[in-house]
Chains A and B, each alone.
Chain A
Amino acid sequence: MKGLYNYFREIVVGFWSIILGYSVTLNQLVKPIITVQYPRVKLEMDPAYRGHIELTKMLDEGHFCVACGTCVRACPSDVIKVQGIKSEAGSGKTGILFLIDYSRCSLCGICVDVCPVDALRFSMEYELAHYSRWDSVIDLHARFKEQKVRG
């Protein structure tokens, strides 16, 4: 008798759960869409977003990098290559080459943390697909100049 009761109970409860399921999906069916069509519509990146690194700008449109190499040593994945020359003033160096290999970067941000002169910051770049490995090597100085031209 109990078995028979359970048999019918299961049918009724199961049927009701099916109706409930329908109610959820049909309810969602008439609600507005929440996705965006990516290449056509692009979302605003959050200011905190951490893309690959780039050089920060000084007031007089120069960069801060002194090619001390702290970031090179701190980087877990050997992403950074830096070269500098003795600056004309006589004291210290100025960076002339700053290469990053983005494909190996894990975006940990240690380089930004350790930089003694705050020469680095995170960029807002996120579309970084490329065809060759060489394309992932970015010359930050060239990028810096380009940005200056664009203003």
Chain B
Amino acid sequence: MDSSSVSKELVDKLAPIEVREGDYDRTGVHLDLALEPEKIRQAAELLLEAGCFLENLTAVDHVSHREMVYHFNEYSQPFRIVIRANLGPEDEIESIQDLCPAADWQERECFEMLGVKFTGHSDLRRLLLPEDADFFPLRKDFVNPPEAQAPEYHQETDDH
């Protein structure tokens, strides 16, 4: 299936909140769709069936809410589709791990860094951070703990 027809199908079926033709030369994106979080899984399913692959999955912390960003692309003729969804206050979204194993680790990373909970993920443990970490370092309200600060510059820290 051609990606332009997929995009048409996406627009038809999912009734996105906002459809934008991406300015490829500036943003590197061909098509930009804003969806409701409940429709993300359906959109991913459609895209994966059409032969696209998940390029990137991450979230952006807008302080008031978190925004999920998924980038899909195609091998034969690059056509990058970004689908995005604003999360509610619970920071929950349906996992697409079972549709696409590539999302497994990326969702785990997204969870530990930004605190987005992926419902239905089979193994949502912390991946890069220690398992007992109780903070989300890429949130805007995260403050470096004092022990993470670099030692004061001119202080003599002689070890021996």
Contact = CB atoms under 8 A, between A and B. Distances in A.
Interface residues of B, number: 8
B156 interface: yes
Interface stretch (A106-114, A119-127, A130-138): A130-138
B160 A131 contact: yes
Interface string A71-102: 00000001001000000000000000001010
Chain B interface, DSSP helix/strand/loop, else mixed = loop
Contacts of A137: 154
Contacts, number: 19
A133 B159 contact: yes
A104 interface: yes
Interface residues of A, number: 10
A143 to B, nearest CB: 17
Task: List 6 A-B pairs, minimum CB-CB distance, nearest first.
Answer: A133-B157, A132-B158, A134-B156, A134-B158, A132-B159, A81-B153
Interface of B: 150, 153-154, 156-160
8 contacts: A78-B150, A78-B153, A81-B153, A81-B154, A99-B154, A133-B159, A134-B157, A134-B158
Interface of A: 78, 81, 99, 101, 104, 131-134, 137
